[in-house]
């Protein structure tokens, strides 16, 4: 993996059936054989990766995320986040649901983390690993814990400790 700390990938989703129905036009394309996208006919922007509408979930995961999962089990920190306007494909890219060919980044990371930890454990004596997961949604200033369905309506807060570490606390639990 490259030495660069932050890498940016752009993914162009295909037109949705309703967009095709309304004769919407594609205005952004990947420059063939490059990691650049062309907006309109002459404005070119370079990225670390550029994926067009036919790119598979697997392709995106293997190029952008899998190397990070491998470094994770060697003790490095990694963050992946999706950014874009509403309807641009963040949920599709991250989520997906089933771990078939449509499975998104979260599904694939979960599978690979346990696979790689299992391998590490088999190959080196005494290796112990703890995996913790939290799954939050911040929507219209409201924070929801998606793994705690019973606390859906309780008020959750993001708090910061004296070292600047952030975490969320269920208001009613302490
Ligand atoms: N690469 C893709 N291939 C096929 N369909 C896609 C792709 N990316 C997104 N879509 C479809 O486009 C629609 C919008 O995508 P999605 O819901 O992921 O957007 P979003 O960025 O999460 O939007 P919001 O911010 O409003 O939650 C969905 O119907 C999704 O299935």
Instruction: Please give the annotated binding residues for ATP, written as ranges.
Output: 84-91
| 3-state class (DSSP) for residue 152 | coil
Residue environment code for 45-64, b if the CB has 16+ CB neighbours within 10 A, otherwise e:
eebebbbbeebebeebbebb
User: Which of 9, 59, 92 to probe ligand 1 with, by most ligand atoms within 8 A of CB?
Assistant: 92
Closest residue (by CA) to atom 1 of ligand 1? 13
| Co-location of 49 and 60 in the same domain | no
| Co-location of 91 and 145 in the same domain | no
Q: Quickly tell me which residue has 């907006």 as its tokens.
A: 39
Q: What is the pLDDT confidence band of residue 137, given thresholds at 50, 70 and 90?
A: confident
| Co-location of 66 and 114 in the same domain | yes
The predicted structure's pLDDT at residue 172:
43
What residues contact 108, with CB distance under 8 A and at least 6 apart? 57, 58, 61, 65, 66, 99
**What's the pTM value of the predicted model, to 2 decimals?**
0.86
| Co-location of 26 and 49 in the same domain | yes
Domain hosting 24: range is 1-55
| Co-location of 22 and 51 in the same domain | yes
Of ligand 1's listed atoms, the one at least distance from the Cα of 84 is 21
| Co-location of 20 and 67 in the same domain | no
The predicted structure's pLDDT at residue 168:
62
The predicted structure's pLDDT at residue 49:
97
Give the span between the Cα atoms of 76 and 87, in whole angstroms. Answer: 32
Give the span between the Cα atoms of 47 and 138, in whole angstroms. Answer: 28
| Co-location of 48 and 69 in the same domain | no
> In total, how many domains does the chain have?
3
The predicted structure's pLDDT at residue 38:
97
| Co-location of 111 and 138 in the same domain | no
The predicted structure's pLDDT at residue 152:
59
| Co-location of 140 and 127 in the same domain | no
Res. 56: pLDDT tops 90: yes
Q: What is the pLDDT confidence band of residue 171, given thresholds at 50, 70 and 90?
A: very low
Q: Determine what percent of the chain is predicted with pLDDT higher than 90.
A: 59
Tokens representing 107?
A: 């599904």
| Co-location of 126 and 73 in the same domain | yes
| Co-location of 69 and 26 in the same domain | no
CB under 6 Å to ligand 1: residues?
A: 13-14, 16, 84, 86-92
Contact between 84 and 92 under an 8 Å Cβ cutoff? The reply is no
Instruction: Please give the annotated binding residues, written as ranges.
Output: 84-91
| Co-location of 84 and 49 in the same domain | no
Residue pLDDT, tens place only, 62-71: 999 999 999 9
Give the span between the Cα atoms of 151 and 145, in whole angstroms. Answer: 7
18 alpha carbon – ligand 1 mean position (Å): 13
């Amino acid at each position: 993996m490259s030495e660069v700390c932050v890498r940016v990938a752009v993914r162009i989703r295909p037109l949705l059936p309703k967009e095709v129905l309304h004769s919407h036009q594609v205005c952004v394309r990947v420059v063939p054989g490059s990691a650049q996208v062309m907006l309109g006919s002459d404005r070119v922007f370079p990225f670390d990766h550029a994926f067009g509408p036919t790119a598979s979930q697997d392709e995106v995961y293997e190029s952008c995320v899998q190397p990070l999962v491998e470094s994770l089990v060697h003790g490095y920190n990694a963050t992946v986040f999706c950014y874009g306007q509403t309807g641009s494909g963040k949920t599709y890219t991250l989520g997906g649901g089933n771990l078939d060919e449509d499975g998104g980044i979260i599904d694939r990371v979960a599978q690979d983390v346990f696979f790689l930890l299992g391998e590490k454990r088999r190959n080196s004596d005494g290796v112990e690993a703890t995996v913790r997961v939290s799954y939050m949604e911040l929507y219209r200033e409201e924070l929801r814990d998606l793994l705690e369905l019973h606390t859906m309506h309780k008020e959750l807060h993001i708090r910061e400790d004296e070292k600047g570490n952030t975490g969320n606390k269920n208001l009613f639990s302490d």
